[in-house]
Structure 1
C-alpha cells in the first residue's frame, strides 16, 4: 500500500474526535442550562459578578427583590452602572449622599465585601438579608433573602413580650401594693398584739401582786386579831382594877393586876412585832415588785418574803417545799423580778406538777457555781413534761391549761426576766413521770447596762 493510502483513516479518526468533543460540549451546555435553570428558580436571590465586576448571572428572585432595576440586571452590565441606576431610580430618596459619592462607595464595598450578613429595610414591611462573598477567581457572589416574615414574627413577638411585660409589671405593681397593704395590716396587728401582750404581762404582774397581798393579809390577820383580843382584855382588866381600887387597894389585888397587865403587854407586843415584821417584809416585797429597783440584798431574805406571802397557799396544799439557800449569799441585782420568778415556779408546780396527786415535794436550792455565778435550781418530783411541751414551755401564751385558768405567760415572763433583766440563762430538764427541774444562772453582781 502506498504511503498516502493511510490518509482516509486519519481523517476518520479526527472526525470522530471532533464529534466526541462536540457531544461533550453539548452535554456541558445541557448541564449548564439545567444548573442555571435551577439557580433561576431558587427562593433566594442570587447574583454573580466576574473579576472585572461585570454581571455574569442574576436569577429571577433577585430581579423580583429589586424591581426598580430589573431591566438592567442582564449579563455584561458593570456593577457601577447598576449602582448608579439604583441611586437614580430609588436610593436618592433614602440618603443625603450625591450620586457620585453613592456609586463610589458602593463600588468600593462591592469589590471588597464584608464577610458578614446585613439586614436592611427595602420598603414598608419588606426586609432583605444580604450576603456578598468573594469567589476564588476574584469575582463576587451575592445572596438576597426576603426575611420580612421573620421580621414580622420578631416584631409580633417583641410586641407580645412588651404587652406581657407591661401586664406583668402591672400585676407586680398591684401585688406590691397588696403586699404593702398586707404588711401594714400585719404591722398594725403585730403592734396590737404586742400591746395586748404587754397588758397581759402587766395584768399577770398585778394579779401576782394581788395574790401576795391576799396572802400577807391572811398572815397579818392572826397577830392583829391576837393583839386586838389582848388589848380588849387589858382594857377590861384596867376597868376592873379601877373599880376595885376606888374602894380599897390590897397588895394581892395590885400584884394580880400587875401580873395580868405584864403578861398581856408581852403578848400584845409580841403579836404587834410579828405583824410589824410581816408588814415590813410585805412592804419591801411590794416595793421591789412595783418599782423593779436594783439593790444589794440577801437572797434568803427575798425568798423568805416570798414564802411569807405564799404561806397560806402552801399550808393549804399537801405539798412540801424545802429551801436550801446559804444565809450569807448576797446579790446586787433586781430582787422584785427575782421574787416573781420564784412565785411563778411555785405556782407552776402546784398547778401542773402535782395534778391528781395527794403528795409531792419541791426543792429550792441556791449556790455559787464554778463560774462564780449564782445558780438557782427549783425542782419537783411531779409528773414532768413531754418533749413537745418542754420545747414550747417558754413560748408566750403556751399553756396546757387553756380555758382552765392558764394564760401561758408565767414561764415566758420568767424567761424574759432571767435573760433580759438579770443577764442570765434559764433551762428546763424534765421527763414524763420523772419530775421537772428549772435551772437559772446569772451574775451575783449585775453588770451596769
Structure 2
C-alpha cells in the first residue's frame, strides 16, 4: 500500500475516533460547557491537525445575534475579556457567523477587529456551527501558527466537527427545555395531576399538590380524584371524562371542593384536558386554589353593599349587571322597575321623562347619553337633580367592555366648599388691606398666594410671583437680577443658605437688605400642614436712623481710640527713654568701675618711674633712664588702649544706625592691620595667607579694619608664651573667610558661650588688661554685614577666631535688620 494512502487512512481513523469521542460526551450527562471544554481537548489531540492548542467555542445569543464566549482553552486574560461578547460581523468570529462560512486567516490581518498590545502573530480557523436549517448556533475558533497554509482536509474535518457540535448543542438544549418544563410543572403554584384513563388513578402529581393536600407521593399514586374531592363519585368522574375521550370537548372546567389529609377543605377550580400519545390516553388536571378568590368575592359584595353611595356595573351590552341598594336610593329609582339585567337606555329614559336632565326632547337626551356610554370612556361629572341634590358620578371602563360607576351625594360637601370659598375671599380681602407684605407657600414650597404689597416690595421679581411657582426658582432668579444685596457676587452660595434657612422647622425673624438699598424685616413660620407663611415689613427709615446713631457712636469711639493711642505712644516713648537712660547709666557705671581699676596700674607705673627719675636723675645712667622711659611709654600705651575701648563703646552705639557699603581692598586692609600690630609688638611674628581672596569686597572698610585689628591684638595679648600668630583669608563661594589663630592661653570650655557678650572676660584673661568690649563690637559689625563670627579654642593650646562676610554686600538689608533689632 502506498505511503500516502496509509497516512490518509490513519488520518481518517483519527478523525473518526475524534468524532466518536465527541459524540460520546453527549452520553456523559455533563453540562453543555463541560462537554464543549472536553471537545476542544479532543480536537487538539488529533495528531495530523496542525493547530495550536488554543481555541474557543462561542454560542449565539438569540435576541441580538451576538456571540458569547462559553468555552475556551489557553486564551489569555486579555482575550477572555475582549472576546466575552462579539457583535455579529465583528472580527473573524462575527464574520463567520454572519456569512455562515468558515473564515481562514494565516496571519493577523485587517479582519482582526479585536487586538491588544503584546498580541503575538497567529492565524485562525473560524468555523460556523449551524443547525439543520442553517441557523447559527455558534462558532468554533482554532488558533494556527503564523503563515499556516489552509488545507481542504482541515476544512472538511472541522466542518464535520462543527456539525457534530451542532447536534450536541441542539440535543442539550432540548434536554434543558424538557428539564425546564418539568421543573416548571413541579414548581408551579397550581396543583397538576396526571390520571390513568382506565383506572383513574394518579400517575404523577407535582409538589404543589403534595404540599396543599398533605399526602406523600407514594400515597397519592394509589389514589383517585374521588379520594380528595368532596361528593365526587365514580359516575361523576365518568360524566366529566367521557366527553373528552369521545372528542366532544377539548377540556372540562368546573369548581369543586378538595379535602386535605387532615380533613380541612378548600375551594378549587379544575381544568381537565385529554393527552393523546399514540394509542396511549391520559388526562391532565390543572387545579387552582380559589379559596381566597371566593373570600375576596364575598368581601367585594359586602364592600359594595356598604359603600357610602351608589354603585352600578353595566356590562358590554349596557345591561345592569350589579347594583347596590344605595344606587336606587341616590338616583331615586324603583328597584322593582329596574332589576339586574335592565337596559341602560331604559334607566336614562326614565330619568329624562321625569325631568332629571332639564327641558328638551327626551329621545335626543336619551340618544346622546347612550352614545356616550357606548364609548366606554372614563367619565366624571356632577349633576344637580331637580330637588337640588348634587351628585358626583364617576365611571371607569371594565376590561372586555362595560363600566363601573359610583354615585355620591356631595350636596353637603359642595355647600361647605361654597362657604369655604366665601371665607377665603374675606381672608384675601383682609390680607390685601394690611400694610405689610404677606406670602404663603404650601408644603412643596410652591407659592399659594401673596398680596400686592408683597409684589411691590419685590418689584424685580414681580413677574415670578404666580401661584404654583417654586420658592427656590423665585429666589434664584431674583438673586440673579440683583434683588438681594447679600447675593450680589455669590448667587449660588447665597441661594443655598437662603433655602436651608427657609426649610428650617423653627420660626425665623431676620433683616434683609435689597439691592436698591431698602431694608426689610422678614418673619417666617411653618404652618401645621408643612407650608410656610411670611410677613415683610419695610424698616428702611428705622435702619437709616440706626445707621446715623452707629456712625456717631463710631466717631466717638474713633476719637477715644486715637487719644488713647497717642497717650500710649507718649507713655511708650517715655518708658523707652527711661530704659535707655538706665542702660547708659549702667554701662557708664560698669565701664567706670573697670576703667578705674585698669587705669590704676599704668598710673602707678608712671608715678613710680617718674619719682625714681626725680630722686636719682643725676646718678642714673642713660640706659637706666631709657628703661624708666620705656616703662612710662608702656603704661601710656595701656592707657591709650583703655581710651580706645571707651571710644569703642560709643562706636558700638553708632553701629545701630544705618551704614553704607563701598568697594574696599581687603588685601590692603589686612596688610595694614598686620603692620600696625607688628609695630606695636615687634617681638611677635604674624604669618599671612591671602592667596585665594578677591581683589575687592563690598563692605564698610573702617569697621572691617577694627574687627581684624581687634582679633590680631587679642591674639598677641593672650599669647605671652608664644610669639607666633597667623591670619588666613580665603574665598568660600560668595563669602570671604578670615581666620586669626594663636598658640596662647586658650579659653575655658564653659566660657565659650558667653565669649561675645559685652564686658565679659574669660577666666584665662585674669591679670591681662582689657574691657570685654572688643569681641562684642566685632560680633555687631559681622551681623551688620550679614556675616558671622565664631571662636574655636582649647585651654592652654590657643584659639582661632573665624570672621565671615559676603563678598557682594547685602549690607543695606543687614543694616536695616540691625536697625530694626
For the superposition of Structure 1 and Structure 2, which TM-score range results when normalised by the shorter chain? 0.3 to 0.5
Q: Which of 1 and 2 has higher RCO (CA within 8 Å, sep 6+)?
A: 1
Report the structure, 1 or 2, having the larger strand content. Answer: 2
Report the structure, 1 or 2, having the larger helix content. Answer: 1
TM-score by length of 1: 0.35
